[in-house]
Structure 1
Amino acid sequence: MKLDVIIPTYNRGELLKRTLDSLLAAHIPQGAEVRVTVVDNNSKDDTRAVVEGYMAKFGGRLRYLFEGKQGRSHALNAGIAATNGDLVGMIDDDEEVEAHWYARVDRAFRDGNVDFVSGPYIPRWGAAQPAWLPNGYRAVIGAIDGGDQVRVFGKEYDGVLMGGNAVVTRAMLNRVGPYSTLVGRKGSRLLAGEDEDMTARLLAAGARGLYLPDLIIYHYIPPERLTKRYYRRWCFWNSVSLGVLDRERPSPVVYLIGVPRYRYGRAARAMLRIGPTLLKRDRSSSQNFSDELAIWDLAGFFYGKHFYRPDDARGVSANSPSQG
């Protein structure tokens, strides 16, 4: 196994230390080669100094790379282009890998019958979980649990290959091309969708992917993400991204005014449930907030499909609304 682990990062020097510590502590199987590349995406903090401070500990297996184009997709693509291992792993800068992460990757790719793998994201809570936290929107905070069985993407598992716990063969990445830079997080803008797009392209190319329940990362959830304001912003901009992608690759479903009809139905059912709770002034439950988010989903998709125009050079559209 020749594995390149890529960590895109933006202004998270302190959290990055935990990520690097976990990669240092994880067991590397005998005969395997593992290299780590940190891609600094215009950080203004001490990110470079943090990485340089770890280089001796990694014994030549750690590299610092600067990518000036703002955006997570640009950072991932730069890391992929600058490395040459047979496997490309992707870990976020607020995560820690489980001690046997490398070993599980090695075992998964030994027989050559798999093109990509992912696994659970176990949350490490930075604050107490709010009572209103909706179970149907766990991806907002990066908490993913696909069960305790190995599952095949696209057949047994309809999840997304999230780029915070992903390993893909370089051969398959060369075949499907780089991450989309039309969408994806750029600075503080909560756009997303690059992982959904990559997953769709991998499956369309016939790639075989596995969800592995023991390929575990631990994901830090900061207190500022455990607010309703963050959830609303994330759901809106994530759906904006999906609307943008839908312009490029429409789904094989029934549309109404450019939006899949099922999205209207989901929002309508949510509004019907919300009505009685407004009269009772009971808006504290998880289900109530989940219903509200379904409406934000519809609004974001409609805006992304018809109005939002991503500027790939700056990553900011002049006519995009401000979310408060």
Structure 2
Amino acid sequence: MAAPTRRITAAICTYERYDLLPGAIESALSQSLPSDAYEVIVVDNSPDPVRSGQEAAAFARHPNLSWYHEAKPGLSNARNVAARHAASPIVAYLDDDARADPVWLENIAACFDQYGPALKVVGGRIRPWWGAPRPAWLSDEMLGNVTVVDHGEERRLLGDGEWVAGANIAFRIDALRDVGWFDTSLGRTGGGASLLSAEETAVTDRIRALGGLVAYDPLAAVEHWVDPERLTQRWFRRRAAWQAVSDYLRDPKERFAKRDDAWLAVKSFLLQQNPADRTLRGLALEKSGASEFRWQVSAVYNAVTALLAGLDEHDDL
């Protein structure tokens, strides 16, 4: 295997986001590292290779940028393609609707250097770039649903239960290779019809199981577009349902073990609703308060979990 020629690779995987994609690319090309120390790889999953080539031509003048049109759909597959093409030992993934701070790559690389070979994954702060005013019903506790990540002001190792997000996450490529790359059965395919996710969580879990460390660096930061279409209660309920599916696929034994607790949580929520709303209707009604809406979204997640695991309801005697 040839020796790496770059310190770090920024990878942007995209699907028909030509309105926002140029901003992501420009931010990746405007990093504080010397241009010969890093590269930018774009993997375009869009269905039209001619259009993809036309978009790529706008960036042809940048010697450290490579553009690949990948016909096989799926975010996980695109991420694997980017990692396999990388000419560096580290790949940092940036969403096509995000904007990286100028010191993004510099801090990711420094974090890997600080903690040494045992560190396999680094995630950074993700600030919201609001496409519309934040709704009053959207509590801080639910910001993770729109990929807001903030674990504080210090660079540090993360413990169990602490997570980083795919909009801003970096891996040692040998660690990805050792665990079999991203699972292509997880992650989104095509546009927004499916919200299947958890692919980066699944691969990080496998890396951790082999002893790899995960760190957070607040200065390795990006801004991430929050589409106005996501700032509706309908979208959050849908997001919760798909998260339940994603989590079940990632660890079915764990979800199965919690099916009774999940169903009890759903019943607890429904019993607090008006009698006419103690059906699926109660999981779909608009809520005015942040705490009530958060409880409803949790009930949606638990309902899907329980249904996937198999309900076993009995009449009370």
Paired with 1:190 and 1:184, the residues of 2 have a C-alpha distance of 8
Q: What residue is the counterpart of 1:135 in the other structure? A: 140
Q: What residue is the counterpart of 2:314 in the other structure? A: none
Residues 32-87 of structure 1: per-residue CA shift (max 9 Å, x gap): 6211111111344944422320120x2x1111112222211111111112224111
Residues 163-218 of structure 1: per-residue CA shift (max 9 Å, x gap): 21111111211211211111211122111121221121111111111111211010
Paired with 1:265 and 1:202, the residues of 2 have a C-alpha distance of 33
Could you tell me which amino acid in structure 2 is paired with residue 220 of structure 1? W
Is the 1:242–1:304 contact (alpha carbons within 8 Å) kept by the matching residues of 2?
no
Paired with 1:47 and 1:285, the residues of 2 have a C-alpha distance of 44
1:115 is paired with a residue of what secondary structure? strand
Q: What residue is the counterpart of 2:297 in the other structure? A: 293
Residues 97-142 of structure 1: per-residue CA shift (max 9 Å, x gap): 0111121122112242422111111011111011111332222211
1:28 aligns with 2:28: no
Q: What residue is the counterpart of 2:177 in the other structure? A: 174
Q: CA deviation at 1:274?
A: 4.8
Q: What residue is the counterpart of 1:313 in the other structure? A: none
1:202 aligns with 2:207: yes
The structure 2 residue matched to 1:52, chosen from 57, 68, 81, is: 57
Paired with 2:211 and 2:156, the residues of 1 have a C-alpha distance of 16
Is the 1:271–1:291 contact (alpha carbons within 8 Å) kept by the matching residues of 2?
no
Could you tell me which amino acid in structure 2 is paired with residue 116 of structure 1? V
Q: Check 1:237–1:254 CA distance in 2 against 1; reply closer, same or farther (3 A cut).
A: closer
2:298 is paired with a residue of what secondary structure? helix
1:196 is paired with a residue of what secondary structure? helix
2:218 is paired with a residue of what secondary structure? coil
Q: CA deviation at 1:303?
A: 4.3
User: Comparing 36-45 with 167-176, which one deviates more in the overlay?
Assistant: 36-45
1:234 aligns with 2:248: no
Paired with 1:19 and 1:195, the residues of 2 have a C-alpha distance of 20
Q: What residue is the counterpart of 1:255 in the other structure? A: 257
Could you tell me which amino acid in structure 1 is paired with residue 155 of structure 2? V
Could you tell me which amino acid in structure 2 is paired with residue 263 of structure 1? A
1:162 aligns with 2:165: yes
1:144 aligns with 2:143: no
Q: Check 1:180–1:306 CA distance in 2 against 1; reply closer, same or farther (3 A cut).
A: farther
1:18 aligns with 2:20: no
Is the 1:244–1:304 contact (alpha carbons within 8 Å) kept by the matching residues of 2?
no
User: Comparing 122-131 with 42-51, which one deviates more in the overlay?
Assistant: 42-51
Is the 1:120–1:217 contact (alpha carbons within 8 Å) kept by the matching residues of 2?
yes
1:7 is paired with a residue of what secondary structure? strand
Q: What residue is the counterpart of 1:186 in the other structure? A: 189
Q: What residue is the counterpart of 2:96 in the other structure? A: 93
Paired with 2:249 and 2:239, the residues of 1 have a C-alpha distance of 15
Paired with 1:306 and 1:62, the residues of 2 have a C-alpha distance of 49
Is the 2:127–2:223 contact (alpha carbons within 8 Å) kept by the matching residues of 1?
yes
Could you tell me which amino acid in structure 2 is paired with residue 5 of structure 1? A
TM-score (norm 1): 0.82
Aligned-pair identity in percent equals 27
Q: CA deviation at 1:272?
A: 5.1
The number of residue pairs the alignment matches comes to: 294
Q: Check 1:121–1:274 CA distance in 2 against 1; reply closer, same or farther (3 A cut).
A: farther
Could you tell me which amino acid in structure 2 is paired with residue 66 of structure 1? H
1:294 is paired with a residue of what secondary structure? helix
Q: Check 1:154–1:264 CA distance in 2 against 1; reply closer, same or farther (3 A cut).
A: farther
RMSD of Structure 2 on Structure 1 (CA): 2.6
What are structure 1's unaligned runs of at least 5 residues?
308-324
Is the 1:18–1:96 contact (alpha carbons within 8 Å) kept by the matching residues of 2?
yes
TM-score (norm 2): 0.84
Could you tell me which amino acid in structure 2 is paired with residue 71 of structure 1? G
Q: Check 1:274–1:180 CA distance in 2 against 1; reply closer, same or farther (3 A cut).
A: farther
Paired with 2:79 and 2:166, the residues of 1 have a C-alpha distance of 9
